Amino acid sequence: MKPERAKTTMNTFPSSAEIVSEPLGVVLNISTWNYPFLLSLQPVIGAIAAGNAVVLKPSELAPATSELLSKLLSQYMDTSAVRVVEGAVPETTALLDQKWDKIFYTGNGKVGRLIAAAAAKHLTPLVLELGGKCPAIVDSNINLKVAVRRIISGKWGCNSGQTCVSPDYIITTKAFSAELVDALTSELKKFYGKDPLQSDDLSSIINSRHFDRLTSLLDDEKVSGKVVFGGQRDKSNLKIVPTILLDPPDDSVIMNDEIFGPLLPIITVDKVEDGIHGKINAKEKPLAAYLFTNDKKLQQEFIRNVSAGCMAINDTTLQLTEHSLPFGGVGESGFGAYHGKFSFEAFSHKKAVLIRSFAGDVEARYPPYSPGKLQFLKAVLSGNKNQSIIIMALDAEAVVKELRSTYTSGKTKSFEWRVSQLKALLKITTHHEKDIVEALRSDLNKPEYEAFVHEIVGISSECKFVLKELRKWMKPEKAKTTMTTFPSSAEIVSEPLDLSLTPVIGAIAAGNAVVLKPSEVAPATSSLLSKLLSQYMDTSAVKVIEGGVPETTILLDKKWDKILYTGNGKVGRVILAAAAKHLTPVVLELGGKSPAVVDSNINIKVAVRRIISGKWGSNSGQTCVSPDYIITTKAFSSQLVDALKDELEKFYGKDPMQSKDFSSIINSHHFDRITKLLDDEKVSGKIAPTTILDAPDDSLIMNEEIFGPLLPILTVDKIEDSIGRINAKEKPLAAYLFTNDKKLEEEFIRNVSAGSMAINDTVLQLAVNSLPFGGVGESGYGAYHGKFSFDAFSHKKAVLHRTFAGDIDARYPPYNPKKLQIIKALLSGNILSIIRALFGW
């Protein structure tokens, strides 16, 4: 909960910065049936730890547990903030019609897509944990007895295989397969007896529908004769014995659907290495992947080349017991992660806060601009003391196929490739500064000063920052392990997602192939980007696609591994709906009505100059984090208006329309929209040059994001009342406060939820690469900039490493009270309890 300090640079000197974790609001957890107690409450723990209110919808397929959860949570929890809603599909549908601040769902991809589509209507962020076909590669150079016991434990010992991370199929060599089958059958007989249907240690199938689905996999004529062990079933008790199949064909249903039951195909290959590229990577990315080998080189190849939600080396499923490791899917197996700190972060918004005093202001920041001012800013910001594609319907598939081929080759994963492409982007900003300035002037009539400070330096400084830190970011992060998995080690590996439709620096730094779709509303800049990126970048992995709505629609029909969109909420909802069809994770940066609270105890001249810089000096207010409206006290409002008028005249002259330092509105459509806000009769007669005093709450200007050069000023009796006014609206992308009152500053940071904040300045928080940039609520979700961009376009793969030592019989069937006592003692972590259990005291 403690704010995390972030480094600042000369760009914002003097200043300090911090990242504050704040609750999202009210979250919904839709749980599943296979571990109905665990999977209902694990996400609730993270949501409560992060400070949210929670609604839990347990699975109707586990009615006894659902009823117990409802009873116990109402008895022990604060029911004003934690509720259980029982029911089936109608109740779930009713819940999904509501607006939530986050939804967490555990289940299958079909329902996951429905939930993602429902969430898209409300711009609700998601965590989806969906399962998939989890492979286990078994090498021949192993302790075979320990390996098969661990496989059995993770398959049949985990709810009869009705577990999202259970091994779904095994890959081994043809030469080793008979020995492996014999070892598995031998241990299965020891664990479950001669008639497993009578064993109390083998779980039943959840219901008859699921039982019938599993038996249909066995009865498929394509797998006829492939069963080498088991196959017996008893529908009256909903039990299927542990069943092993050898080499079912690739086109059989059992090799294409997630099994989620006690059937285990074994696929054979000539060399064990063939299992990685020829088998695993030919399928969708799984939720978990396992490898049994003593070959360290093969272990590294497996970790590097297999993309999965999580991994264990020389064991199965046990990675879930380590709370220092994230748990979550990638691709079709879901997105988002939880467990331990990752649960806290999943249900938190990381709010970036930049804090400044009124000292350290420089004239070079403000209009009227001049070559001397630009030269000075360049010195400060420096830190010194291939082909373009105009896409047609028939080309889209080919573009995606080419980029996926590049990614699959492994080219983009290397450190060297990432560095070469980032340096190429840096060259673009330095070698073509004049071209960029001219394109921006053509599109927006943007002054050279703003073009450099707000756009060019944003790319160059980000590239330099990423190049400096990249090797450290790519290095696997060590994670602590506990007695549960002793002896073991663990690490978190950042791996590329694959193919992104996205901002380029973070995606390249993370090792992805990228498609950039620039805005058709800024055609000169779009054309220049297309030209320069094709000239400097590796076009087998980075492509620019120009065009309008038809081209964007074609792109959204394709499957991407991540989409980042910057724009408005209306289009954001369309993009989310398209992404839901493919279970594609999305980062949305959407803007909103960003407030600026102005106290009276300030250096008013410095404050209004910084407000003007962030509003009219930032693309005439056509900036997602520009102040959208001001709140001040009635007593101070006239003084503030006068100060704004004085400084505006100094900056832009008596006729700002003639100022070269004042950007144009992007087009006539946007111009007409802004003038409509001014022509609203509810604000008529209250207009100062570009400020509006006390516009009514129900006026258009106070309910739409302005995104232009109009600035309403609202008045309150006490400055503290401003927080209530802000919180009555949707959460903004940015919020600003000007004050010397430390108590008010702390209250503002604690009680106002926004994407980011600056104290005693505006917009400048975006210049701090160590701070995340992203929205919350209606202003979007997900974050980028610096390390946060790298993380946004990476999957954090949890990897648990074990040897074949340290195995204990208490883990395996047949179960008995003593084994349970030992396991309870081990999981407690209490050494004395462990000793007592081992000696039977």
pLDDT at 589 over 90: yes
Predicted confidence (pLDDT) at residue 712 exceeds the cutoff of 80? yes
Task: Report CA-CA distances (Å) from 75 to 35, 70, 351, 506.
Answer: 22, 9, 34, 47
Burial readout 329-340 (b: 16 or more C-beta within 10 A, e: otherwise): bbbbbbbbbbbb
| pLDDT, greater one: 754 or 679 | 754
Residues 802 and 830 in one domain: yes
749-782 pLDDT tens trace: 999 999 999 999 999 999 888 899 999 999 999 9
250 plus 263 within the same structural domain = yes
* Domain membership flag for residue 311: yes
Ranges of beta strands (E only) in 210-273 are: 227-229, 233-234, 239-240, 243-246, 263-269
Question: Would you say residue 683 has pLDDT above 60?
Answer: no
Q: What is the dihedral of CA 425, 430, 431, 436, to 10 degrees?
A: 80
Q: Is the pLDDT of residue 371 over 90?
A: no
**Cβ–Cβ under 8 Å, residues 824 and 816:** no
Domain-embedded: residue 258: yes
Residue 382's pLDDT is 66
526 and 419 within one domain = yes
**Dihedral angle over CA of 484, 39, 258, 193, nearest 10:** 50
The stretch 328-343 carries a mean pLDDT of: 92
Over the stretch 151-185, which tens digit does the pLDDT of each residue have? 999 999 999 999 999 999 999 999 999 999 999 99
394 pLDDT more than 50: no
Q: Confirm whether 274 is domain-assigned.
A: yes
Half-sphere exposure of residue 241: CA atoms within 13 angstroms, side-chain side: 21
Range of the domain at 236: 135-283+288-327+796-806+817-838
Is there a domain that residue 8 lies in?
Answer: no
Output the six-digit token pair for 737: 């406060």
Are 116 and 165 part of one and the same domain? no
Q: What is the pLDDT of residue 440?
A: 86
- Residue bearing tokens 């019609």: 97
Note whether 667 and 757 are same-domain residues.
yes
User: Which residues share a beta bridge with 227?
Assistant: 245
Judgement on whether residues 180 and 59 belong to the same structural domain of the protein: no
Region 129-151 average pLDDT: 95
Is the whole-model pTM more than 0.85?
yes
Could you tell me the pLDDT band of residue 446, with boundaries at 50, 70 and 90? confident
pLDDT band of 587, cuts 50, 70, 90: very high
Identify whether 589 is a catalytic site residue.
Answer: yes
Q: Domain holding 543: CATH number?
A: 3.40.605.10
Name the token pair of 243.
Answer: 């069943």
Whether residue 682 is predicted with pLDDT greater than 80 in this model: the reply is: no
Check whether residue 651 and residue 757 sit in a common domain. Answer: yes
Among 114-118, 408-412, 454-458, which range has the highest average pLDDT?
Answer: 114-118
Q: Which DSSP category does 456 fall into? A: I
**What is residue 232's predicted lDDT score, i.e. its pLDDT?**
95
Find the radius of gyration of the CA atoms of the chain: 29
Tokens of residue 717, six digits: 């009796």
Residue 482 inside a domain? The answer is: no
Residue 285: CB atoms within 10 Å: 23
Q: Give the total number of structural domains in the chain.
A: 4
Q: Highest-confidence range of 396-405, 420-429, 631-640, by mean pLDDT?
A: 631-640
Mean pLDDT, the chain, rounded, equals 90
| Res 399: pLDDT | 78
Last residue of a domain, one of 528, 561, 583: 583
Residues 277 and 144 in one domain: yes
689, pLDDT greater than 60:
no
pLDDT (0 to 100) of residue 588: 93
- Out of 543, 561, 583, a domain closes at 583
**pLDDT confidence of residue 824:** 83
Domain final residue, candidates 551, 583, 615: 583
What is the per-residue burial (b if ≥16 Cβ within 10 Å, else e) of 816-831? eeebebbbebbeeeee
Give backbone dihedrals phi and psi of 703, rounded to 5 degrees, phi first.
Answer: -125, -15
Quick one: pLDDT at residue 2?
79
Q: Which residue from 797, 827, 801, 798 is spatially nearest to 315, judged by alpha carbons?
A: 801
Identify residue 83 by its one-letter amino acid code: R
**Does residue 476 carry a pLDDT above 60?**
yes
φ/ψ of residue 573, rounded to 5: -65, -40
Range with lowest mean pLDDT among 29-33, 100-104, 106-110, 667-671: 667-671
Omega cis (within 30) before 265: no
Do residues 762 and 611 touch, judged by C-beta distance below 8 A? yes
Q: Dump pLDDT digits (tens) for 261-294.
A: 999 999 999 999 999 988 999 999 999 999 999 9
Is 78 among the domain residues?
yes
Residue type, 770: S
- Report the CATH number at residue 652: 3.40.309.10
Same domain for 428 and 323:
no
168 in the same domain as 184: yes
Residue 791 lies in a domain: no
Please tell me whether residues 392 and 442 are part of one structural domain: yes
Rounded distance between C-alpha atoms, residue 798 and residue 792, angstroms? 16
**In the chain, % of residues over pLDDT 90:** 65
Residue 826 and residue 767 share a domain: no
- pLDDT at res. 396: 66
Helix (H, G, I), strand (E, B) or coil at 493: strand
Residue 489 domain flag: no
- Given the residues 546, 589, 705, 778, select the one marked as catalytic: 589
pLDDT at 29 over 60: yes
